[in-house]
Structures are given as structure tokens and as C-alpha cells.
Chains A and B, each alone.
Chain A
Amino acid sequence: MHEIHYEAPTSLEQAVGILAKHGDSARPICGGTDLLIQMRAGVRRPHYVVDVKHIAALTGIAFDPKSGLRLGAAAPCIEIFENATLRRHYPGLVEAAHLIGSLQIQSRASVGGNLCNGSPAADTTPALIALGAVARLVGPKGERQVKVEEFVVSPGRTVIQPGELLVELLIPPPPPHSADAYIRFIPRNEMDIAVVGIGAAITLEGDRCTAARIGMGAVAPTPLFAAKASQALVGKKFDAVAIENAAQLAIEQASPIDDMRGTAEFRRHLVGVLTRRTLERAAERARRN
């Protein structure tokens, strides 16, 4: 690996100062499970590596029934799936955090890092999109909020400007009778990258769906919000016909590629299958809430 300078600021101001000073030659490190591999391969070559795990705002996990979840960008996945409150209120996000790589990876990797890495196949990103999560960024010009579905602009690239830092993800509180779910397809049981991943969050009142959001991963250059599929469910009876209609609209929006993990045709098929299964799993949970 090339020579680097390592900084471990303990406040947001310090971190933004360092990132702003060094611009493109600086990169934050959370778990390092993507960054160190990319640095070894020469894909990313930051001269300044800024460890943001000593900043309280980036490692905290705070849930409030009224305002929802503030998820620090650097909080490791293990702290998400070992958190009983999160397992109760955001089971889909927990599912996604619990299937990234191995337990060794989950001890280090963070949801914020997963998002900032900008992979179209990131597991937690469709789960965040389903929940309507917003990313809070702080930079030299102040702070701004960006919807997660608008965060990744192309494979490996995000809206983050030089000097900016993703601080936390803001996730609304789950409404009554709602729940989320995340399902991905991989050709083995553990330890692989999604061929397709679908996140869904729905709210049911009786047999009617009153809110729905579907996020899709590995079906386009960036993670997607399946807007038409989601809107088609709202206000309708939540039954097999509505689910099938949403699945078809999700397939229409997907623009997958052929690669070593699967063909575009297979991925479109999976979008349908996983949209149905994820909606059904979310609904089953919502009926209990």
C-alpha cells in the first residue's frame, strides 16, 4: 500500500477542517473494509486517511419514537443487529446490515460507509431507501440533507463534495401497522455480493396499503427508488393482484447488466420474485405491529 498520513479527529469541526484542507487527496475511513482493499489495489489513492470513528456524532445510534432513528455513519453493522430497539423497529435494515460479508466484516463495516462506497449492489442502501432515510452531510459551507436515493450518482461516486463528511442517516419513525424487510439473492448461503437486493417498507390499515416504498439494488448503475411500483400500491387493497402489479412496475424500471453474477434477463426475473417476497415479508410483519 502507498504511504499515507493518518488523522483521527475527535470533533466534526476538526474532521471537516482536515477534509476541506486536503480535498480530493483525503478520504474518511470507517470500517475500512472497502477502502483498504481499494487502496491495496490502487483504485483509490488518498494521501490523507481520516479516521472518523472517534467522533461521537458518527458512532451514535439513537432512536426516539417521535423523531425516529439517528444512525451515526460509522456505527458498525454489529451494533445495529445486536440492538434490540432496531431489531424491533427496523427489521429490514437489520437484515441488510447482518448479511454484508462475514461477521468479521460486520464487526467493522458501517451503513454510512456502505453508502459512501457508492456500489450499485450495496445491501443496506435499498433498505435505507425503503425507509425514506435522509443523509446529513456537514462540510466547510455548512450542512445539507440528501435523500438516500439521490446520494449515489454513478458506480463508486456520490454527491459528497471535497471537504464534506456524511455524519448520520436520519430515518423516520415507523408509523403504526408498518414494517420493513430486505431480501437479496446470492447463489450461496452467505458471503457474496447481491445479484439483486430489494428493500420494502409498507403500512397497512386493515387490508389496505396506505404507504409503500421499495428500494432496489444491483439492477442499475445506482441503487434505485422504485417510485411507480411503490405508488401503485398506495390506497389499494394489499392483495396478490396489487403485489404482482408492483413487481411488474419494478421490473420495468430496472435496467440491469450482464456480468459474472448473472444476466440482465435473470436479474429482471429476480426483481419480480424478490419484490413479491419482500413485500409479503414486510406485510406479515406490519400486520403484527
Chain B
Amino acid sequence: MAKRTLVETVINNEPVELLCEPRQSLLEVLRDELHMTGTKEGCLTGDCGACTILVDGRPVCSCLMLGVEAQGHKLETIEGLATGAELHPLQRKFLEHASLQCGICTPGFLMSAKALLDKIPRPTEAEVRYHLAGNLCRCTGYDKIVRAVLDAARESG
């Protein structure tokens, strides 16, 4: 096995030191090393967005970044979205609007939506659809997801 490298990062506001192999993607590191399995593996080619996390506030496909590249960066994953037992408004609205069926795409959609609302608190429908274009859902037809994000923005704004 290749030499494991020490990576110092911040995940959901907690400083984290971890060891990983240079060939491991950040997605593999999150799931297999840190056992943070909320972030999902989809296509592994950057097309589906299921593995979306935020790196320094920007949405990124964690399958297209090496774990070692996280050194010194601030990561946000689905595990950090709720505050204790209290769901984030986006999570609550996804439930209210039935914006998920199988749920594999949901963590990625929520993180992309969070990045959008952090940047544009009251987006238009076109802005929501544009910012979620990198996330694929094969169950819902997208409409319920878009409505949930708009509703969450309305409530928070």
C-alpha cells in the first residue's frame, strides 16, 4: 500500500486530521476513512452531482478531487446541514414538498441548494434551475425540488 499522507482540514466547522492514500478521491476519504456516508457516490465522472459538497463555500464534485487536495480547505457536507435534531430549512422543505423518492441524489441537491442560497438568498426559479443543473434526479422530475428550494428561500428571507 502506498504511503498514507496526513491531511489537515476543517469539516463542518470541526478541525479534522486524517490519513489517506494520494490516489483516494475526497469522496472515498469521506465515506471510507471518515465513515461520513451521507455524501453519495453516483457516476464518478462529475455528471450527476450526487457527491456534491462545498469546498470554501463552492459546490464541488467530491469524486473529482483528491482527498490530499483538501489540505487547508474548509469543507461542508450534508452531515453539517442540520443543527442537532433541528433540520435545515432546505431539508424540511424537501420533506414537505416530497422532493425525494430514492434519496440518492438528495444530499447533493441539498448542498448545491445551500451554496445557491448562501450566495443568492432570494433566487428566481430560473436561478434555482440553473444552480441545480449539475445535479441529476431520476425520480422526481425536478419540479418538487425546485419548489422546495424556492419555498425555503421564501421562508428564510
Q: Which residue from B23, B52, B64 sits with its C-beta under 8 Å from A37?
A: B64
User: Could you tell me which A residues sit within 8 Å of B by CB distance?
Assistant: 1-6, 8, 29, 31-33, 36-37, 40, 49, 51, 53, 78, 101-105, 107-108, 189-191
The reply to whether A107 and B58 contact each other, CB–CB distance below 8 Å, is: yes
Interface size class of B (residues with CB under 8 A): 20 to 34
Q: Which residue from A1, A3, A108 sits with its C-beta under 8 Å from B60?
A: A108
User: How far, in angstroms, from A31 to B60 measured CA to CA in the complex?
Assistant: 10
Q: Does B45 reach chain A (CB closer than 8 Å)?
A: yes
The 4 A-B residue pairs with the shortest CB-CB distance, nearest first, are: A102-B134, A6-B22, A107-B58, A190-B133
Could you tell me which residues of chain B, from 19 to 75, have a CB within 8 Å of some CB in chain A?
Answer: 21-25, 44-47, 49, 52, 55, 58-61, 63-66, 68-69, 71
Q: Does B131 reach chain A (CB closer than 8 Å)?
A: yes
User: How far, in angstroms, from A51 to B66 measured CA to CA in the complex?
Assistant: 10
**Residues of A close to B133: CB separation below 8 A:** 102-103, 189-191
The reply to whether B130 and A104 contact each other, CB–CB distance below 8 Å, is: no
Q: Which B residue's beta carbon lies closest to that of A3?
A: B2
The reply to whether A104 and B112 contact each other, CB–CB distance below 8 Å, is: yes
Q: Does B101 reach chain A (CB closer than 8 Å)?
A: no
User: How far, in angstroms, from A8 to B134 measured CA to CA in the complex?
Assistant: 29
Q: Which A residue's beta carbon lies closest to that of B115?
A: A103
Are A104 and B65 CB-contacts (below 8 A) given A3-B23, A6-B5? no
- Closest approach, in angstroms, between the C-beta of B141 and any C-beta of chain A? 16
User: How far, in angstroms, from A49 to B22 measured CA to CA in the complex?
Assistant: 9
The reply to whether A6 and B66 contact each other, CB–CB distance below 8 Å, is: yes
